[in-house]
């Protein structure tokens, strides 16, 4: 049961991280499989109290299709981080069983157990009958009319499944001079797998849908009691306290659903952050004003880039003219003596034109850098919305970061799918595996029983042989039979030294090869008799029916199943499925391709402006050297040729420049539109929801977090322990 729940929870978490419309902090879920591997045992230390002890508790709630509780199983992991010899633990559980290890405990009253930990962590589970902190109720409608789960089986139409969560765990806290209920802030994460043959046109409130071609994974989230805790009007900001799934169904049936309840989200909030949040109370008006200025600035940026694009034709025309002049300079180098004056004037014009271009270099490079930063900022937002926690993208690291995302994206989802299939196939062979394990265990039990019986028979045979040897030794040494010797010893007529010599002689005879062979032959003969074989068979049968052996068979069967699953997961077929996970990274690959394209333009622009600066410097040198033109006509001809080649390269690069300016204009328009949407959908909603009372909201946030920190356990915990708890509700399948 734990493994099935763990798979659905893992799928739910993967889906939830992809939900873009829900803002929350990612948290770590300790699944039931976490206890399958145990860290190396520390050296035990003698500690008087529970120093360094914490308890991680998982509460499994087995519920009917309507959410009604049928059974509660609690799994506890006592983390013995300092390696204490003994651990004191308080718990209300019954039927407590150590599920991973052979550590035992003693009861000291008032539900206090003292575990003989010997430096180990303790893993145990048990049962409890106790009211849950959050009640789950599941109701169903068919074509808008209420219907029971049993009556819904096989029906077709528009189905609504409503998950309602009632938070009953609260503390009374003083807020603004009043005593108010503050509920433990549980996040309720509900997940289900819907077969596409049954469910179509699926919708979910407060959640996300993911379809793999044959099934739809549905994940929804709610925060029961948080609306009341924060005292925010639903008209201004509605915090969900239920999840509803609607779909068109054909011949309705539904596998189990799983709901995770945890307060870890609020418990892990940084308390230092509340002080900085409270400082925002006086800044809401400034935020609105600054947003208006930002909107105006983005509009001006768009208008400016549009003007720049309009003027780019003039820039291209000027570069073309510059190229023509350079060509004339090259062609006229041979007749330099006749046209020295004209060349000097042309060199002056050339220098001035290039200096004009150089004066625009910083503006061009700065604009291109601003566009690149905007693209990277947009990419960071897209990655965050997709639930990917990666370092902030920069011009220097974006390629490395996105390559890392592409390498890992979607592997977990593919792995979980493969694990589901392999586990189902192996579990189907559980009876065969158990038969094999039972046969192996019986062989071991038979060997152990045979050894025990043989030891007893050996003692009996050795005793008979020893009496015979003693009779012979006594007769040989004292010339009397053993009965007379024993009587003489009892009467004190045999001194201690003589007795020791007799015993030594008997012991020496018993160790002789002849006597040992005699004993072995007697034992072998006895072991082959029918009564002895019947005794062995009876003892083996009794052992095989014992609880310990049955438990060993069950444990070995489960270990064998896990071994087979692990081997199949390492097979070439499964590994090939994992390799196919790269298909899921296509969207990130497309994002990286776009950034690579702009990066190429950006680097090209930098090269272009550097070339312009070099050309301007060359033109200045040309202008300064015109007075010495007649003395250096050969050098001037060579320099003119180089100048022409450089300007031709500049001319060939002008189309890319125009394309870049066009992208700059389009990016400025997207930035302006995005800022408008941010203002309307984010900033204004935030201002309206707070409505000038941010201090009160911060106070309630702080109180909610404090109440969450207080709730650490369900089944009981010692006062000197730290801990955390999560609840996993599993509803029965329908049909």
pLDDT, tens digit (0-9, with 9 covering 90-100), for 171-217: 999 998 899 999 999 999 999 999 999 999 999 999 999 999 999 99
How high is the pLDDT of residue 530? 92
Rounded distance between C-alpha atoms, residue 104 and residue 115, angstroms = 6
pTM of the model: 0.46
Percent of the chain with pLDDT over 70: 78
The pLDDT value given to residue 656:
67
Q: Is residue 452 part of a domain?
A: no
The answer, yes or no, to whether residue 396 has pLDDT greater than 60, is yes
Higher pLDDT, 345 or 619: 345
In a domain, 678, yes or no: yes
Q: Which residue has the higher pLDDT, 35 or 640?
A: 640
**687: pLDDT strictly greater than 60:** no
Tell me, letter by letter, the H, E, C secondary structure of 246-309.
Answer: EEEECCCCECCCEEEEECHHHHCCCCHHHHHHHHHHHHHHHHHHHHHHHHHHHHHHHHHHHHHH
Distance CA 205, CA 221 (A): 8
Residue 665 lies inside a defined structural domain of this protein: yes
Residues of the chain with pLDDT > 90, as a percent, come to: 41
Distance separating alpha carbons of residues 63 and 9, to the nearest angstrom: 16
Phi, psi of 98 (to 5 degrees): -75, 115
Higher pLDDT, 562 or 66: 66
pLDDT at 442 over 70: yes
Nearest 5°: phi and psi at 187?
-95, 125
DSSP 178: E
pLDDT above 80 for 32: no
Contact yes or no for 217/191 (Cβ under 8 A):
yes
Q: Identify the weakest region by mean pLDDT among 275-289, 305-319, 403-417, 590-604.
A: 275-289
pLDDT of 103:
93
Identify which has the larger pLDDT, 698 or 89.
Answer: 89
Task: Note whether residue 446 is domain-resident.
Answer: no
What residue numbers bound the domain in which 382 lies? Answer: 298-402+594-690
pLDDT at 285: 55
pLDDT of residue 633: 72
Mean pLDDT confidence for 549-571: 88
pLDDT at res. 399 = 86
Beta bridge partners of 136: 165
Residue 649 inside a domain? The answer is yes
Mean pLDDT of 325-348: 76
What is the structure's pLDDT at 284?
47
> Is 149 within a domain?
no
Residue 168 maps to a domain: no
Residue with structure tokens 């207080």? 710
- Number of separate domains in the chain: 1
pLDDT value at position 33? Answer: 35
pLDDT (0 to 100) of residue 242: 96
- Is 7 a residue whose pLDDT tops 50? no
């Amino acid at each position: 049961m734990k493994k099935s729940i763990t798979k659905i929870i893992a799928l739910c978490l993967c889906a939830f991280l992809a939900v873009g419309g829900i803002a929350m902090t990612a948290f770590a879920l300790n699944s039931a499989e976490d206890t399958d591997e145990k860290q190396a045992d520390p050296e035990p230390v003698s500690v008087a109290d529970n120093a360094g002890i914490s308890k991680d508790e998982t509460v499994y709630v087995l519920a009917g299709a309507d959410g009604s509780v049928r059974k509660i199983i609690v799994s506890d992991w006592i983390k013995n981080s300092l390696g204490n010899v003994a651990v004191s633990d308080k718990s209300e559980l019954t039927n407590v069983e150590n599920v991973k290890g052979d550590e035992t405990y003693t009861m000291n009253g008032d539900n206090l157990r003292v575990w003989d930990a010997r430096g180990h962590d303790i893993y145990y589970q048990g049962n409890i009958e106790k009211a849950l902190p959050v009640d789950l109720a599941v109701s169903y409608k068919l074509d808008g009319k209420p219907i029971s789960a049993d009556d819904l089986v096989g029906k077709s139409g528009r189905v609504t499944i409503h998950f309602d969560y009632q938070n009953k765990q609260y503390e009374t806290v003083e807020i603004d001079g009043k005593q108010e209920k503050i509920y433990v802030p549980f996040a309720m994460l509900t997940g289900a797998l819907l077969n596409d043959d049954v469910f179509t046109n699926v919708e979910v409130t407060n959640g996300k849908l993911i379809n793999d071609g044959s099934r739809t994974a549905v994940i929804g989230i709610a925060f029961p009691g948080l609306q009341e805790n924060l005292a925010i009007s639903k008209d201004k900001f509605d915090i969900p306290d239920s999840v509803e799934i609607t779909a068109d169904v054909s011949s309705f049936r539904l596998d189990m659903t799983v709901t995770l309840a945890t307060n870890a989200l609020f418990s892990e909030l940084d308390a230092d952050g509340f002080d900085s949040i409270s400082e925002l109370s006086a800044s809401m008006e400034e935020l609105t004003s600054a947003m208006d200025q930002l909107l105006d600035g983005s509009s001006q940026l768009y208008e400016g880039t549009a003007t720049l694009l309009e003027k780019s034709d003039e820039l291209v025309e000027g570069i073309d003219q510059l190229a023509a002049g350079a060509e004339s300079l090259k062609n006229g180098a041979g007749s330099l003596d006749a046209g020295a004056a004209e060349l000097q004037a042309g060199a002056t014009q050339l220098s001035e034109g290039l200096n004009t271009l150089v004066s625009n270099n910083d503006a061009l490079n700065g604009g291109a850098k601003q566009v690149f930063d905007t693209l990277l900022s947009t990419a960071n937002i897209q990655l965050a919305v997709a639930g990917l926690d990666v370092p902030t993208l920069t011009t220097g690291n974006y390629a490395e970061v996105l390559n890392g995302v592409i390498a890992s994206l979607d592997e977990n989802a593919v792995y979980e799918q493969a694990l589901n299939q392999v586990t189902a196939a192996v579990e189907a062979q559980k009876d065969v595996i158990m038969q094999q394990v039972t046969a192996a265990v019986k062989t071991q039990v038979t060997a152990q029983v045979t050894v025990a019986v043989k030891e007893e028979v050996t003692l009996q045979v050795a005793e008979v042989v020893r009496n015979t040897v003693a009779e012979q030794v006594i007769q040989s040494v004292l010339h009397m039979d053993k009965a007379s010797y024993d009587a003489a010893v009892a009467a004190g007529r045999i001194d201690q030294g003589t007795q020791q010599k007799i015993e030594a002689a008997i012991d020496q005879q018993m160790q002789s090869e002849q006597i040992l062979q005699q004993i072995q032959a007697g034992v072998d003969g006895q072991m082959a008799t029918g009564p002895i074989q019947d005794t062995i068979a009876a003892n083996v049968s009794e052992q095989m029916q014992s609880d310990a052996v049955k438990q060993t068979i069950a444990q070995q069967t489960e270990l064998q199943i896990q071994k087979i699953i692990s081997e199949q997961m390492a097979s070439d077929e499964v590994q090939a499925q994992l390799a196919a996970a790269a298909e899921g990274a296509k969207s990130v690959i497309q994002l990286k391709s776009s950034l690579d394209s702009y990066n190429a333009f950006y680097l090209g622009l930098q090269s272009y402006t550097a070339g312009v600066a070099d050309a301007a410097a060359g033109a200045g040198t040309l202008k300064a050297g015109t007075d010495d033109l007649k003395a250096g006509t050969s050098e001037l001809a060579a320099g003119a040729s180089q100048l022409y080649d450089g300007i031709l390269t500049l001319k060939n690069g002008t189309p890319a420049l125009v394309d870049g300016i066009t992208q700059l204009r389009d990016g400025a328009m997207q930035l302006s539109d995005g800022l408008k949407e941010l203002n309307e959908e984010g900033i204004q909603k935030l201002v309206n929801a707070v409505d000038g009372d941010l201090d009160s909201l911060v106070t309630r946030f702080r109180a909610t977090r404090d109440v969450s920190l207080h709730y650490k356990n369900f089944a009981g915990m010692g006062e000197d322990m730290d801990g955390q708890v999560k609840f996993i509700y599993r509803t029965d399948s329908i049909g």
